[in-house]
Homo-oligomer: A and B are copies of this chain.
Amino acid sequence: MDAEYVAERERLIAEDRQWRVDALALGQATEAERKADEIVRKLRAQENETVWGPNAPPIPGSLHLFPGMGFLTARETILKTKVYSILSKMPKGGVLHAHLDAMVDARVLLDLALKYPAYHVRTDVSLTTETISTTLPEFSLLKENEWTAPASLTAETYTPGSWVPLAQARAAFDPSLGGPEGFDKWVIGALTINPTEAYHTHNTTDKIWSKFQSTFAGLNRYLPLWTEYIRQFFLSSVEDGISYVEPRIPFFCKYMIGADGEENVPHREWLIAFDRVVNEVKVALANQGRADEFVGSKIIYSALRNCTPDELEWYLEDCIALKQEFPHLICGFDLVGHEDPLNPLTYYMGPLKMFVKRQKELGLDIPFIFHAGETLGDGSPADMNLYDAILLGTKRIGHGFSLVKHPRIMELCRERQIAVEVCPISNEILRYTGSMPMHPLPILMNQGIHVALSSDDPAIFGNMGLSFDFFQVLVSSEVTGLITLKEMARDSIKYSCLDPDERARALSLYDKRWLTFVDWVVDTFGEGSTAYADRN
């Protein structure tokens, strides 16, 4: 190629990528950043052959290996890669799309529940080797006077439908079904999605959503457990390099169950507990000299998009009341649930418009942060939600999977700095995309849409933290590198609901940690390192 052509080609490529989040950063990268980026690109190229290539060792459960392949099958292999080991150390910024009910590892959740004698479990048929694979456990929190005597779900004498104390059910689980470990496997299987379900038996968005919904077992509606659950959520996020979380909390139920077993704990008491745990975690980290690793958490109030407009009015008023009492915690409002079959935003236009008006009167600011376009539809009501989300002034868009179809909305997102919460692994498991290489994320990035990578419901999908989502994104693109990921992570702080001064502090802490991370990558994997010598 002659020099003139090469120059013209580079100009065209630069024009094409001018809007990307990394467009400026690539030019301003430090020497160390460039080195770290190159190291990761080389490792990726190597592992895309040795781990994901046609001659790589087989992965159980999959005929087909490639970078960005189905996460549920690839997960254990990802954990063994060098690229993952690097990304797991990367500072991630914030998680902006996270449903609180699915943020703590199912194993940890079960262990928490086993501690409380109020937890009971039952099944609607006797559990045998034949029935166990198709039978789901049902959980309940009983008041102390309703607690049942020790029994076994697997005994011949078990009466289907009768409650058994959870810990007892586990201890007495029949050895033919695996004993206590078989119990754990059965319960965790019910709380998560497995590869066969996602990639075979339930391999459409509608079907896998039905399985997905069944995994919400309501285990964390018990305030004593919930408090510990939130703590685990914060701490495990921090361990993955996440410094801020902005969960959507489902306020569908008006009351949680208190320590006494009574279902009478109102929303404001949830927030008091939440606030306390945020502060306790901050103190605990500060005591370890890690104060800079966690800047806090705010809450997106979430109602379910199957309620009536009248019911929604109640939630909106409740949200306002909570905002007035906890202005530092409530930071947004959303309607959640499976968009395709549930009500579109237009159905709620009256109350939503009124909510905006009421806030003006009261001098409040609770932005909408709507789920919209989480669909494969083209012109379907869920796809059309994007128009209404924009017209209602949404601060960010949750998922926006179909946003790439809409040039004018993307333009407005650029102009109005509306970021999109993209959940790559969630989209793949819920069958919006066949695999990461088919995912529309590169379209959004090249269109200059700011993206906050998120995990959505990691307890169910197995993508705890953000390392897995960053991994799938990185290995599926030859444009994206470490510097791109840094800018995406910074965007998850920039487009969060942190106040301007909190945000500035969070960004500055991020940049500091990033420098340490980059040096670590170069020291550990660069020329001269042991890892480098092993490789070459």
**Using a CB–CB distance below 8 Å, which chain A residues touch chain B?**
1-2, 5, 8-9, 12-13, 15-16, 18-19, 54, 63-64, 66, 200-201, 203-204, 206-207, 346, 349, 353, 376-380, 383, 387-388, 390-391, 404-409, 431-435, 437-438, 440, 442-443, 446-448, 476-480
Q: B387 touching A203 by the CB < 8 A rule?
A: no
**Contacts A54-B206, A443-B443 given; does A438 touch B349 at CB 8 Å:** no
Q: Output the nearest chain B residue to A64 by Cβ-Cβ distance.
A: B204
Q: Output the nearest chain B residue to A381 by Cβ-Cβ distance.
A: B478
**Contacts A376-B438, A408-B16, A438-B434 given; does A66 touch B204 at CB 8 Å:** yes
Interface centre among A2, A13, A18 (most CB of B within 10 A): A13
Contacts A5-B353, A9-B391, A443-B443 supplied; 9 other A-B pairs, CB < 8 Å: A1-B349, A16-B387, A378-B442, A379-B480, A404-B440, A431-B434, A432-B438, A434-B434, A434-B435
Q: A391 touching B203 by the CB < 8 A rule?
A: no
Q: B438 touching A438 by the CB < 8 A rule?
A: yes
Name 17 interchain pairs, CB-CB below 8 A, sorted by A: A1-B349, A9-B391, A12-B408, A13-B387, A16-B406, A16-B407, A16-B408, A16-B409, A19-B407, A66-B204, A377-B478, A378-B480, A379-B477, A383-B478, A404-B440, A405-B443, A438-B438
Q: Output the nearest chain B residue to A19 by Cβ-Cβ distance.
A: B407
In the complex, what residues of B have CB within 8 A of residue A477's CB? 378-379
In the complex, what residues of B have CB within 8 A of residue A443's CB? 404-405, 443
Q: A476 touching B378 by the CB < 8 A rule?
A: yes
Instruction: Give the copy number.
Output: 2
Q: How far is the CA of A442 from the CA of B435 in the complex (A)?
A: 19
In the complex, what residues of B have CB within 8 A of residue A405's CB? 442-443, 446
Distance to closest chain B CB from A356 (angstroms):
12
Distance to closest chain B CB from A491 (angstroms):
19
Contact of A479 among B19, B204, B379, B438 (CB under 8 A): B379
Contact of A437 among B15, B201, B377, B447 (CB under 8 A): B377
**Contacts A16-B408, A54-B206, A66-B204 given; does A478 touch B379 at CB 8 Å:** yes
Distance to closest chain B CB from A414 (angstroms):
10
Q: B12 touching A390 by the CB < 8 A rule?
A: yes
In the complex, what residues of B have CB within 8 A of residue A448's CB? 407
Distance to closest chain B CB from A69 (angstroms):
9
In the complex, what residues of B have CB within 8 A of residue A353's CB? 2, 5
Q: Output the nearest chain B residue to A437 by Cβ-Cβ distance.
A: B376
Contact of A9 among B9, B387, B407, B480 (CB under 8 A): B387
Q: How far is the CA of A206 from the CA of B440 in the complex (A)?
A: 20
Q: Output the nearest chain B residue to A200 by Cβ-Cβ distance.
A: B63
Q: A8 touching B479 by the CB < 8 A rule?
A: no
Q: Output the nearest chain B residue to A375 by Cβ-Cβ distance.
A: B437
Q: How far is the CA of A379 from the CA of B437 in the complex (A)?
A: 12
In the complex, what residues of B have CB within 8 A of residue A376's CB? 437-438
Distance to closest chain B CB from A53 (angstroms):
10
Q: A201 touching B404 by the CB < 8 A rule?
A: no
Q: Output the nearest chain B residue to A386 by Cβ-Cβ distance.
A: B16
Q: Output the nearest chain B residue to A54 by Cβ-Cβ distance.
A: B206
Q: How far is the CA of A437 from the CA of B340 in the complex (A)?
A: 13
In the complex, what residues of B have CB within 8 A of residue A8's CB? 391
**Contacts A8-B391, A378-B442, A391-B8 given; does A64 touch B16 at CB 8 Å:** no
Q: B446 touching A201 by the CB < 8 A rule?
A: no
In the complex, what residues of B have CB within 8 A of residue A390's CB? 12
Q: B388 touching A9 by the CB < 8 A rule?
A: yes
